[in-house]
Amino acid sequence: MELLIYALIFFIIVQNQFIINFTFKSLKQNKKIMANLTELNDAIAALQVTVDAEQAQIAELLATNAGVITGLNDQIAILTQQLADGITPEQVQASIDALNAIKADVEATV
């Protein structure tokens, strides 16, 4: 009977040691996971900054393109009216200058 009690005590000690080792191993793994999560969150935050900057550039380009399209449409309307009214060489030159200004604006943007 005494031998059985010693065997049970030994078994309990061994089992407690296993639980303690498992717990420490789990804690180490949790620390590593938390460090990886922190690193991942930092990378996500940096990516968001980059995406926000790219979106701002896209919005700026869209606004610029809208302005260029408006300028071109205005110039087409002017030329159409001038052709209907009978265009002068000065008006042709003014239209060429306006189109060159729009072209320069587009080239500077891109």
Short-list 52, 100, 48, CA closest to 72: 100
Residue range 27-61, pLDDT digits in tens: 788 788 888 888 889 999 999 999 999 999 999 88
Short-list 32, 29, 50, CA closest to 40: 32
Mean pLDDT of 64-77: 85
**Residue 97, pLDDT above cutoff 70:** yes
Report the domain count for the chain.
1
pTM: 0.49
Residue range 85-95, pLDDT digits in tens: 888 888 888 88
Range of the domain at 80: 2-109
